[in-house]
Amino acid sequence: MVFGKAEFIDRLNKTKKEMQSRGIDVLVSTNPANMNYLSGYDGYSFYVIQGVIVLLDEAEPIWIGRNMDRAGAVFTTWLGAENMMGYGDDYVQSKTKHPMHFFADQLIEKGAAKKRIGLEMGQDSFNVTSYLELQKKLPECQFVDASFLVNKVRMVKSDREIDYMKAAGEITVNAMKVATDLINEGVKESDVAARIYQTLIEGTEDYAGDYPAIVPLMSAGEQIAAPHLSWTNQRYKNDGIVTLELSGCVHRYHAPLARTIYLGTPSQKYVDTVNVVLEGLHEMLKTIKEGVTGDDVARSWNKVLSKSGVTKDSRVGYPIGLGFPPDWGEQTASIRPGDSTVLQKNMTFHILPALFQADSGFVVSETIRVTENGCELLTNLPHELVIKQKNTIFSKS
Give the alpha-carbon dihedral of 117, 122, 124, 126, to 10 degrees.
20
* Residue 240 confidence (pLDDT) above 60: yes
Q: How far apart are the first and last CA of the chain?
A: 45
Residues 244 and 141 reside in one and the same domain: no
Helices (H), the chain: 5-21, 32-39, 70-76, 99-109, 128-137, 149-153, 159-182, 189-202, 268-287, 294-305
Residues 76 and 141 reside in one and the same domain: yes
Say if CB 346 and CB 164 are below 8 A apart.
no
Which tens digits make up the pLDDT trace of 279-306?
999 999 999 999 999 999 999 999 998 8
- Residue 132 lies in domain: 5-153
Q: Which residues contact 209 (CB under 8 A, 6 or more apart)?
A: 171, 199, 200, 201, 202, 203, 248, 249, 250
Residues 129 and 214 reside in one and the same domain: no
- Residue 150 CA to residue 319 CA, distance in Å, equals 13
Name the domain boundary from 113, 132, 153: 153
Name the domain boundary from 153, 177, 208: 153
- Residue 250 CA to residue 197 CA, distance in Å, equals 14
Secondary structure (3-state) at 355 = strand
Domain count, the chain: 2
- HEC sequence for 86-116: EECHHHCCCCCCCHHHHHHHHHHHCCCCCCE
Provide mean pLDDT across the span 134-142.
96
Which tens digits make up the pLDDT trace of 63-88?
999 999 999 999 999 999 999 999 99
The two counts, helices (H) then strands (E), for the chain are: 10, 18
Around Cβ 225, how many Cβ atoms within 10 Å?
Answer: 15
Residues in the chain: 397
Burial label, 172 (beta-carbon count in 10 A; 0-12, 13-18, 19+): buried
Name the domain boundary from 103, 132, 153: 153
Residues 252 and 105 reside in one and the same domain: no
Q: CATH number of the domain at 182, please.
A: 3.90.230.10
pLDDT at 394: 55
Give the alpha-carbon dihedral of 270, 271, 272, 275, to 10 degrees.
130
Residue 396: pLDDT band (50, 70, 90) is low
pTM of the predicted structure, to 2 decimals: 0.95
Residue 395: pLDDT band (50, 70, 90) is low
Say if CB 207 and CB 254 are below 8 A apart.
no
pLDDT at 359: 76
Measuring CA to CA, which residue among 153, 138, 128, 151 is closest to residue 26? 138
- Helix 99-109, helix 128-137: angle, nearest 10: 40
Provide mean pLDDT across the span 2-31.
98
- Residue 96 CA to residue 296 CA, distance in Å, equals 53
Provide mean pLDDT across the span 192-218.
97
Residue 207: pLDDT band (50, 70, 90) is very high
- Residue 329 CA to residue 45 CA, distance in Å, equals 20
pLDDT above 90 covers what percent of the chain? 90
- Residue 378 CA to residue 300 CA, distance in Å, equals 21
Residues 166 and 223 reside in one and the same domain: yes
* Residue 311 confidence (pLDDT) above 80: no
Residues 111 and 9 reside in one and the same domain: yes
Which tens digits make up the pLDDT trace of 160-185?
999 999 999 999 999 999 999 999 99
Residues 388 and 275 reside in one and the same domain: yes
φ, ψ dihedrals at 28, nearest 5°:
-110, 110
* Least reliable range by pLDDT among 238-242, 340-344, 368-372: 238-242
pLDDT at 134: 97
Largest Cα separation within the chain, whole Å, is 71
- Residue 63 CA to residue 32 CA, distance in Å, equals 12
pLDDT at 393: 55
* Residue 191 confidence (pLDDT) above 80: yes
Residue 148: pLDDT band (50, 70, 90) is very high
Residues 220 and 359 reside in one and the same domain: yes
